[in-house]
Amino acid sequence: MKARLPWALLAALILAQICYPLTGGATRAGLTVATVVLGWLLSVGHALLTRGARTAAALVAVVTGGGFAVEAIGVATGFPFGTYDYSGELGPKLAGVPLIIPLAWTWMAWPAWLTAVRLVRSRLARIALSAVGLAAWDLFLDPQMVAEGYWTWLDATPALPGLPGIPVSNYLGWLGFAVLLAIALRPLAGPSVDRVDGRDAPMFALYLWTYASSVLAHAVFLRLPASALWGAAGMAVAAVPLAVTLWRARRDRAAEPEPAPRVDAPA
């Protein structure tokens, strides 16, 4: 049952995301909130089931708590992302921040960390790759949410080519804060987060699904071709090596000879 729960949550998340481009208005906003909540439950639940209470608590404290803190600072001061304001479409706010926003940080921070652990060995490389893997997701997220009117930038210059309305400082702020999250997570979560195994397959599937589905959705359904290109390039830094590594591991397992049947010696 425990092994199936992350897969069940992932299936529900995928279904919600498939429905997203088919809806609009308040229904789409509600579906956005539901998707984020499912993503948070998936990542925190997986951390709890596979690494225990310490890791899950650290993930919530560092990423959910830290995400809320940096968002509240950002809304109040414009640092580190730039000057922006949230609409009221994403549910209740605290200190000007919709309560689901820090949940979104947590949703993707955990699979980004595990992806880095799967791909690289050194501590510094893991911090760097997990930070890039998380921050690059915002190349999809921010253009999509701004297009929906869920938040607005008051000063959107300079912006990336093809992505007007969002300042470059936003992406740099994401990257900088993602580095801090990765640095803080390991000592608080414990040594179990430095290893991956078969139980982490749902998180790798989540990361690769997020990458592939975001490219498709932005390019085809949401009519945001520039963010499709920027996001595809950014998340590819982690997603493509992950896909190749998992494919090679599966190929190697399939190529292993089956053990010879045991033959008992005659009595």
| 232-242 pLDDT tens trace | 999 999 999 99
What pLDDT score was predicted for residue 190?
94
In the predicted model, is pLDDT for residue 255 greater than 90?
A: no
In the predicted model, is pLDDT for residue 266 greater than 60?
A: no
CB 193 within 8 A of CB 113: yes
What pLDDT score was predicted for residue 114?
98
> For residue 257, what pLDDT band results from cuts at 50, 70 and 90?
confident
Tell me which residue of 76, 82, 111 sits closest to 6, measured CA to CA. Answer: 111
> For residue 264, what pLDDT band results from cuts at 50, 70 and 90?
low
Could you give the percent of the chain with pLDDT greater than 90? 93
Tell me which residue of 209, 225, 226 sits closest to 18, measured CA to CA. Answer: 209
> For residue 265, what pLDDT band results from cuts at 50, 70 and 90?
low
User: Full-prediction pTM beyond 0.85?
Assistant: yes
In the predicted model, is pLDDT for residue 267 greater than 60?
A: no
Mean pLDDT of 183-205: 96
Residue 240: count other Cβ atoms within 10 Å of its Cβ. Answer: 13
Give CB contacts under 8 A, 24+ apart, made by 160-164.
160/226, 160/230, 161/226, 162/225, 162/226, 162/227, 162/229, 162/230, 163/139, 163/226, 163/227, 163/230
Average pLDDT, rounded, for the chain: 95
> For residue 259, what pLDDT band results from cuts at 50, 70 and 90?
low
> For residue 209, what pLDDT band results from cuts at 50, 70 and 90?
very high
> For residue 172, what pLDDT band results from cuts at 50, 70 and 90?
very high
Could you give the percent of the chain with pLDDT greater than 70? 96
Q: What's the rounded Cα separation, in Å, for the pair 94 and 191?
A: 34
> For residue 57, what pLDDT band results from cuts at 50, 70 and 90?
very high
> For residue 253, what pLDDT band results from cuts at 50, 70 and 90?
confident
